[in-house]
Amino acid sequence: HKDLFDTAGIRTTVGSEFFKDRTPRSDATVVRRLAEAGVVALGKTNMNEFAAGTSGTNAFFGDAHNPWDLARSPGGSSSGTGAAIAAGLCLGGTGSDTGGSIRVPASWNNITGIRPSFGRVSLAGVYPRAYSLDCAGPLARTVADVALLLQAMAGYDAGYKDSTRTPGEDFARGLTAGIRGLKIGVIDNYTYRDVDPDVAQAVQAATRTLEGLGAAVVPVRIPMLAGPLEYSSLFNILLYEFNQILGNEYRASPNKKLFGPIVQANIARGETVSREFYERSLRERAQQKAAFREAFKQVDALVTPTMPTVAPLLSASGDTYDRGRQFALPFSWVGVPSVSVPCGFDAKGLPIGLQIVGDDMQEALLLRIAAAYEAATPFHRLRPPVFTTATL
C-alpha cells in the first residue's frame, strides 16, 4: 500500500518526516476491502512527500528508483508501488492519483494502472492531496490483475462524502470480449503535441494495433484540449486545496525542516491563489466537463501517450517533470477514468505507456480495450534488469 493509505497499527507517514511516527488506529476503507477480499498486505511503499510531485524523490525517506534504470525516476507520487510491482516484489498495489500519480509510474515502469472515475473508490482513510481531484486505484503487471483489484476497491462508502452510488460491476467479466466495432479517438492537435519522437511512434503503432483488432481509430476535436492549455491554472487549483489541507499545520510547526522543499514550495504557491479564483474555477468546471463529454457521443474512448517522455533522470529539473501534466491534469479535472498500459520502449529500452480515456463510470470498457491491446502485444511480459523471480 502507498504510504498515505491508513493501516491500523502500522505507521502511515505520507512520506513525511512530519508524520514519521503517525500510526492510525483503523484501516482506510480501501485497505479493509482488499483485506476482506483476500489480499495479503506485504508493506507500505515510498512516495513523494505528501504526494507532491511525480519524480519519486523523497528528502527524508530517500528516493525510489526505476528498476529499468536505477538512475531514473519511477514516476510518482505512487513511486514505491510502481517500482515494487515492476521489480517483482509484489503482484499489485494501491496508488492515488491527483494529477497523474497512478498513471505516471504505470507508464515509466512498464506496468498497468487505472485512475477510476472521481468518487468511484472511497478515499476514507487516505491522506488528501486535493479534495476535488483525488482518486485511488490499483497498479499491477497485467490488466486482469488491475481489474480484480479494482473490483475489491470500488463501491459506495457512506464514510466518504464524494462517494458515488453506482451499481456493482464485474470489471473482469468482459476482458476477453474484444474491441471490434468500437470507435477510438485520436485528439486533434493534442494526442501527439509536444511528444518525444519515440513516444509518438509507439502510440502510433498502438493505434494501428487497435485497428487490427477491429476498432475504428478516428480523429476527434475537443475544444478545451485543442488550444494552449492553462496547466498552471489547473495546478493552482490543486495547490489551493493542498494549502487548505496542510497549510495550517505547516505554518504552526516551529521546525519547517520537517517538510521537504517541494512541499514547502507547494504551500508557498498555494498561499498566493485567491479564493475568488478558486471558486470561479469550480463554477466553470461543470461547463467544461459537459463540453468535454460531448466527445463520447462520437467515440467510445480516447487515446494519448500517458506521458510525453520516458522516465527522466532522478536529478532532472522540475520543468522536465512538468511536461507530463498535459496528459494527466485535464482528465483529472473533468473527473473521467483513464488507464495506462505498456505500449513499447524507446531506443534506450525505457518503457512507454498508452493512456486510454473513457466517459464517466466506463472503467469496464477501458479495461476491455486495454486487455485486448495487451493480449496482442508482448510489452507487458518484458522484465526490467532489476527483477526478482524468487517467489513469483
Indicate which residues carry an active-site annotation.
2, 77, 101
C-alpha span between 114 and 147 (Å, rounded): 9
Signed CA dihedral, 154, 159, 161, 165: sign only: positive
C-alpha span between 112 and 105 (Å, rounded): 9
**The three three-digit cell numbers of residue 320, written as one number:** 522536465
Residue 362 half-sphere exposure toward CB, CA atoms < 13 A = 20
C-alpha span between 147 and 143 (Å, rounded): 6
Residues ≥6 apart with Cβ < 8 Å to 85: 91, 92, 93, 109, 111, 139, 140, 141
Q: Residue 62 corresponds to which amino acid?
A: G
Rounded (10°) CA dihedral 188, 191, 196, 198: -110
Q: 64 forms bridges with which residues in the sheet?
A: none
C-alpha span between 2 and 317 (Å, rounded): 24
Do residues 126 and 6 touch, judged by C-beta distance below 8 A? yes
Do residues 315 and 339 touch, judged by C-beta distance below 8 A? no
| Buried-state track 115-124, b at ≥16 Cβ within 10 A, e below 16 | bbbbbbbbbb
Signed CA dihedral, 149, 83, 136, 339: sign only: negative
